[in-house]
Chain A
């Protein structure tokens, strides 16, 4: 079957010249995007003093593991934080995929009487918000989520932006006729949704899932607000704490109170880069696997069709 598909694709391929141009353009841009990242890795292994002397260099004068050593000083905290981040990311992505796809499917249905109301209901929250303090009160005092994993998961579980995109994907990739046909066959709304709609919407689901994964992985602010216990601090938050505190102390280095003995020789630049490597390394490495998984999902959907 794959052979057949391929043959058809061949027939529709870009011309060699067009393809070369596209490779050049896309490849050039991709390089522009990857290069700084490689640079980050290089700098993280550079000696801090050499960096201060020569600035950023592709061929560091002296290599060093000091930046990593400094972060690894936190010991098991680092591992625990990885654990928290992974748990929150997986759980959070699942929860938000369920909630978002249900909601956006309903508002994508033309036969849903309240679709405009609920679309507006979601959209309105994209623009208006009550600010930090009221949200903090709801999460800590009303929902009592303070210092629990839920405080890391729930505040990010739904997002009107994702809902609007997902709704468009549903409209685009699921013709109303399929739903009607499913209903005539006697399937319930939920049945139609799970057996007919979801398989057709895999690209959209994969996109929203990816965005959601990244959002959970990169989040540090919720932990800053809601987490006190060191056991529940996620990775980004832990690294962010080190980073902002380093920054804060440096900015206040002229303050007589602060400079009295607090300013040890922190490896500033290099450890900042090392933090980027530690924080994004795992997810970047995992990304191709994600991608393969999603693409497989897509092929399944295509075959069904």
Chain B
């Protein structure tokens, strides 16, 4: 195997090997010239907008203080604090609660979101009345346009103690009004429901497009073989969508330590009595740093979330690659 390019490039004895490998690299690049050109614009973009700013991750290990000479000087002059900035994420019993909540909610979102979005996409694609299907699809997209603040108002108009629609309905059956924002029993269900309501329409578009891209002749062949609609769905549609489902799930797994801040902050109206089921990493960090505003600590939280997500994705990607190389992310 040829030596890899490394700092050893400067050592005379291995000079020739390296030239050889350099040539082979160049030859490879020449062979892939056209595709490399295609990659170039976005790659440059990634360098500018993602990789350059990543230098800023150092802040997670610093007590960041401003310096007259600008940002770089500020980073240089700020004190190293090692892993101190990470401590607040692990220091109390809350650490367990926020980690558990973040993971469990996200797991529910991933699983239910996947099943429902695919189911919806299949249903829409199979509706006999195509015009109706189009209307439905447009309608399902609408929640995507509402901010969490607005959604929060609607949920409140349902769950408010005195004027809420739910309590009024319960009243009709002689049930006492519930203090929804002080009673944590139902919140896991409410949050999952609201999240799915807002996101399924958006996600099902991806699967719908996937279904449209399936080669029609596959279905025709199946029909000739006498396959029922049900069999067509489970033998053709779903398998053909699997790569999309795998990718979407892998990407979601990477974000499993990130919670949707608006959902967990605006929808329960930041009600303290609900924290044990609504506090997630993002809301915890927001509340914790509101007063001190330490950028170092928020960078630390972000880095922690990224690293965990990264590890999880790499592991699950390896598993996926074992099963089917084509479905893997990289």
Residue in B57, B59, B139 whose beta carbon sits within 8 Å of that of A33 in the complex: B139
CA distance A126 to B310 in the complex (A): 10
How many residues of A are in contact with the other chain, CB < 8 A? 104
A22–chain B nearest beta-carbon distance, Å: 4
Q: Scoring B residues 256 to 275 as 1 if CB is less than 8 Å from chain A, else 0, what string do you get?
A: 00000000000000000000
Q: Scoring A residues 167 to 189 as 1 if CB is less than 8 Å from chain B, else 0, what string do you get?
A: 01101110000000000000011
Q: In the complex, what residues of A have CB within 8 A of residue B139's CB?
A: 30-31, 33-34
Q: Which of A158, A168, A169, A287 has the most CB of B within 10 A?
A: A168
In the assembled complex, A86 has its CB within 8 A of some CB on chain B: no
B128, A158: Cβ atoms closer than 8 Å? no
In the assembled complex, B42 has its CB within 8 A of some CB on chain A: yes
Q: Which of B92-100, B104-112, B169-177, B211-219 contacts A (4 or more CB under 8 A)?
A: B211-219
In the assembled complex, B223 has its CB within 8 A of some CB on chain A: yes
A70–chain B nearest beta-carbon distance, Å: 17
Which chain A residues in 282-305 approach chain B with CB under 8 Å? 283-284, 287-288, 291, 295, 298, 302, 305
Kindly report which residue of chain B lies nearest to residue A218, judged by CB atoms: B145
In the assembled complex, B319 has its CB within 8 A of some CB on chain A: no
CA distance A34 to B141 in the complex (A): 9
Q: In the complex, what residues of B have CB within 8 A of residue A55's CB?
A: 157, 160, 163
With A22-B126, A55-B157, A284-B142 already in contact, the answer to whether A102 and B34 are too (CB < 8 A) is no
In the assembled complex, A1 has its CB within 8 A of some CB on chain B: no
In the assembled complex, B291 has its CB within 8 A of some CB on chain A: no
A14, B310: Cβ atoms closer than 8 Å? no
In the assembled complex, B306 has its CB within 8 A of some CB on chain A: yes
Which chain A residues in 190-244 approach chain B with CB under 8 Å? 190, 193, 200-201, 203-204, 206-207, 210-211, 214, 218
In the assembled complex, A143 has its CB within 8 A of some CB on chain B: yes
CA distance A130 to B56 in the complex (A): 5
Which chain B residues in 82-126 approach chain A with CB under 8 Å? 120, 123-124, 126
A122, B229: Cβ atoms closer than 8 Å? no
In the assembled complex, B178 has its CB within 8 A of some CB on chain A: no
With A168-B243, A272-B150, A287-B138 already in contact, the answer to whether A120 and B330 are too (CB < 8 A) is yes
With A36-B143, A134-B71, A157-B45 already in contact, the answer to whether A103 and B38 are too (CB < 8 A) is yes
In the assembled complex, B244 has its CB within 8 A of some CB on chain A: yes
In the assembled complex, B295 has its CB within 8 A of some CB on chain A: yes
Give the dominant DSSP class at A's interface.
helix
In the assembled complex, A18 has its CB within 8 A of some CB on chain B: yes
B329, A119: Cβ atoms closer than 8 Å? yes
A155, B134: Cβ atoms closer than 8 Å? no
A57–chain B nearest beta-carbon distance, Å: 9
A103, B330: Cβ atoms closer than 8 Å? no
With A128-B57, A133-B71 already in contact, the answer to whether A33 and B306 are too (CB < 8 A) is no
CA distance A164 to B313 in the complex (A): 14
Q: In the complex, what residues of A have CB within 8 A of residue B213's CB?
A: 169, 172-173, 200-201, 203-204
Q: In the complex, what residues of A have CB within 8 A of residue B45's CB?
A: 99, 154, 157-158
A103, B39: Cβ atoms closer than 8 Å? yes
Q: In the complex, what residues of B have CB within 8 A of residue A201's CB?
A: 213
Q: In the complex, what residues of B have CB within 8 A of residue A30's CB?
A: 135-137, 139-140
Kindly report which residue of chain A lies nearest to residue B64, judged by CB atoms: A133
How many residues of B are in contact with the other chain, CB < 8 A? 92
Kindly report which residue of chain A lies nearest to residue B143, judged by CB atoms: A33
CA distance A171 to B306 in the complex (A): 28
Kindly report which residue of chain B lies nearest to residue A117, judged by CB atoms: B330
In the assembled complex, B286 has its CB within 8 A of some CB on chain A: no
With A103-B39, A128-B54 already in contact, the answer to whether A27 and B206 are too (CB < 8 A) is no
Residue in A33, A114, A161 whose beta carbon sits within 8 Å of that of B36 in the complex: A114
CA distance A147 to B310 in the complex (A): 35
With A15-B229, A103-B42, A137-B71 already in contact, the answer to whether A143 and B48 are too (CB < 8 A) is yes
Q: Which of A61-69, A71-79, A104-112, A257-265 contacts B (4 or more CB under 8 A)?
A: A104-112
CA distance A203 to B213 in the complex (A): 6
Q: In the complex, what residues of A have CB within 8 A of residue B205's CB?
A: 207, 210-211
Q: In the complex, what residues of B have CB within 8 A of residue A99's CB?
A: 41-42, 45
CA distance A164 to B56 in the complex (A): 25
Kindly report which residue of chain A lies nearest to residue B33, judged by CB atoms: A189
In the assembled complex, B43 has its CB within 8 A of some CB on chain A: yes
B123, A22: Cβ atoms closer than 8 Å? yes
In the assembled complex, A116 has its CB within 8 A of some CB on chain B: yes
Kindly report which residue of chain A lies nearest to residue B127, judged by CB atoms: A22
B41, A103: Cβ atoms closer than 8 Å? yes
In the assembled complex, B186 has its CB within 8 A of some CB on chain A: no
Q: Scoring B residues 308 to 330 as 1 if CB is less than 8 Å from chain A, else 0, what string do you get?
A: 01100100000000000010011
In the assembled complex, A280 has its CB within 8 A of some CB on chain B: yes
CA distance A90 to B95 in the complex (A): 44
A165, B54: Cβ atoms closer than 8 Å? no
A-B contact pairs, 12 of them (CB 8 A): A14-B126, A26-B133, A33-B142, A100-B42, A154-B49, A218-B145, A280-B145, A284-B138, A287-B138, A288-B138, A305-B215, A305-B216
**Known A11-B223, A14-B126, A218-B145; 19 more pairs at CB < 8 Å:** A26-B133, A37-B146, A98-B41, A103-B38, A103-B41, A113-B32, A117-B330, A126-B251, A127-B254, A128-B306, A134-B53, A137-B53, A154-B49, A157-B45, A158-B49, A189-B34, A193-B38, A273-B150, A284-B142
Leading 5 A-B pairs by shortest Cβ distance: A134-B56, A130-B56, A130-B53, A189-B34, A134-B53
